[in-house]
Amino acid sequence: MERSRAKRSFKDQYLIAYNALSCVLWFGVLGRTILLLPLVGHENVYGGVGEYTKLTQTLALLEIVHIVLGLLRSSLFTTIVQVSSRILLVWGVANLFEAPQESLAYSTMLIAWSITEVYRYSYYVTNILGRTPGFLTWLRYNTFFVLYPLGAGSEAVCIFRALSEAKEFNINYYYFLVAVLLTYPPGLYKQYTHMISQRRKNIRGKKRQN
């Protein structure tokens, strides 16, 4: 029993540290993006936050590892899809092509992502500690109505703006990006219905219990 408790304690400490670090990093993305927009214009936001965002998003690959190792109970497939799609955006779209870098959609994408991640990781930390404030639960299960379409729409615009450059870069990569773009409508629908289901469980369910 003592060993089991020690393992759980170590796991919780690690997850608290990981989620807290991720929250701080995404807060940095949000702060930089908001500050840079009026100072340098959306055309130059990538130059001030692009590298930082790539590193921050790449850290999320650990979430796949966490599930594989049993540290988290979540859908491995869903997590792989969500993380890999963002990795594609930061490394395979914005990193390679100028058009998405200069688009306002790049900035709105980062704002939607970072707001979502700041309260998501904060929610995870407080949930492990057993002290989740009501406002975090509300944010977690309500703001997706606005942030999901903003984020997904911005992602789609970034990919669309990259297509002409991708065609010159590699025709097979161009068709790959076209195929990815076609997955957005059903993908957004699936995300929406999943979060609506989670909202019923975590908000309406708690109200009934109270």
**The amino acid at 205:** G
Contact call for residues 204 and 196 (beta carbons, < 8 A): no
Contact call for residues 190 and 147 (beta carbons, < 8 A): no
Q: What is the pLDDT of residue 15?
A: 95
pLDDT digits (tens, 9 = 90+) for 32-65: 999 999 999 999 999 999 999 999 999 999 999 9
Catalytic residue among 46, 106, 117, 155: 155
| Mean pLDDT (the chain, rounded) | 89
CA distance 137 to 115: 14
155 is an active site residue = yes
pTM of the model: 0.88
Token pair recorded at residue 38: 């009026």
117 is an active site residue = no
Residues of the chain with pLDDT under 70: 1-8, 203-210
Containing domain of residue 181, as a range? 2-209
CA distance 81 to 185: 15
Catalytic residue among 52, 102, 148, 174: 148
If one counts the domains in the chain, the total is 1
- CB count in 10 Å sphere of residue 23: 19
